[in-house]
Amino acid sequence: MSEDAFQMFADKTIRGLQKEAAQKFTASLAQYSKWIMVDGERRRIFSVEPEKQNQFFEKLVRGAYYLAFREPACGQIVTASPQFYSGLDYKTLAENLGPLLNDSSVMTEYACPNPDIFRFRFGREGTPPKQAAAIVMLFYGSVEILGLVTPSPTEQ
């Protein structure tokens, strides 16, 4: 961890965790968690309240984007996952985007410290303000979430 990242963690994150809202959030986590076994190790997983799911996935995409590109994601975030969103034609989505999202000349695998728990690929095309990015996240080797970062209508 860089000194800047550590300082930001110490200043903002730790301070934020001491707030009353954070304490209530932490207390509520237990009701949405359970223990599972991953490669012989006991791990805690968390479920996400359906009404907060989109916000949660957007935060994951924004965090992965920042790790990948070292800058905040600007624009609209759209997420999709066959495990969480029904009603989307995933077959057509896979046929159209699949080759691009699996092309190593477009997408780069991020070196995550625990790829059996979480890993992601990322790619970006175009030039600002007409730039789009894709983040493909994989949790526990089976839960996949696609995040697209597209320009806001006012940025086009």
Instruction: Give the tens place of pLDDT for each residue, 109-133.
Output: 999 888 888 889 999 988 877 889 9
Domain ranges of the chain: 48-155
Look at residue 102 and tell me whether its pLDDT is greater than 60: yes
DSSP result, 25-48: HHHHHGGGEEEEEETTEEEEEE--
Q: What is the DSSP letter of 140?
A: T
* CB of 40 closer than 8 Å to CB of 33: no
Query: Which residues, other chains included, contact 105 with Cβ-Cβ below 8 Å and sequence gap of 6+?
Result: none
| Cα separation, 150 vs 74, whole angstroms | 8
pLDDT value, residue 133: 92
Percent of the chain with pLDDT over 90: 20
Query: Residue 134 burial by CB count (10 A; 0-12/13-18/19+): exposed, middle or buried?
Result: buried
Euclidean distance between the first and final Cα of the chain, in Å? 36
pLDDT grade for 147, boundaries at 50, 70 and 90: very high
Tell me, yes or no, if the pTM score tops 0.75: no
